[in-house]
Amino acid sequence: MSQVLMPKATAVWLVENTTLTFDQISAFTGLHPLEIQAIADGEVAGGMTGYDPTTNGQLTKEEIKRVEADGNARLKLSPRDVPMPQARSKGPRYTPVAKRQDRPDAIAWLLKTHPELQDSQVAKLVGSTKSTVQSVKDRSHWNMQNVRQRDPVTLGLCSLKDLNDAVDRARRKAAREDATRKKDAAKSGVVEQAPVADVDPADADQPDVAEQ
């Protein structure tokens, strides 16, 4: 079977918009059934935007309905007459001149919507520089008064796959750093002690005096 485009984002969409079983989604996307269950539970791909396979010709709505009606059925990719996209070689992202003026808007959207992304990731997604990202972040950009938040995918500055991959990497890194901090804190054995009430020295260790 041909490769499914953006399998994880496709799985997110199928989980959210269909009644397909985890096994059916797993068989179609190539992901493990436990990963599909984790997506459904919100433990994996949290915040990832789902990718509708019916909008790019991978599936038809009729095919989805057919498989929903039969738990043993499996989804079949629709025939594609267009060539599959080729993987882009590594290197700096080229942004067309006509779209470069949109980059500050895209940066503002990414900083607001995905604060877990590092400045370098934001710059790479939209084909900008870290200094430009910082200027938008601290509102010192020369055209800041005209900057408005706009989705870089809609603007055509990056693909949905690139965006979801970057968010995934950022969240995995944040989770690792959080786990490391907790582990280091546990190793240090620092235990907070309850505050000791102030005692007047004159009252300390004084025997009780019975009333006469």
117 and 178 co-located in one domain:
yes
Structural domain that includes position 136: 97-186
How many structural domains is the chain composed of? 2
Longest dimension (CA), the chain: 107
Alpha-helical regions (H) of the chain = 7-17, 22-29, 33-40, 61-68, 97-100, 103-113, 119-126, 130-137, 152-155, 160-188
pLDDT tens, per residue, the chain with 212 residues: 457 888 888 989 999 999 999 999 999 998 898 888 888 888 776 677 888 888 878 889 999 999 999 989 999 888 765 455 554 545 445 555 556 788 999 999 999 999 999 999 999 999 889 999 999 999 999 889 999 999 998 888 888 999 999 999 999 988 888 888 888 888 876 544 555 555 555 554 555 444 44
Residue 50 lies in a domain: yes
Q: How many CB atoms lie within 10 A of CB 21?
A: 16
* Angstrom distance (rounded) from CA 108 to CA 160: 17
Residue 86 lies in a domain: no
Residue 83 lies in a domain: no
47 and 114 co-located in one domain:
no
* Angstrom distance (rounded) from CA 167 to CA 170: 5
104 and 181 co-located in one domain:
yes
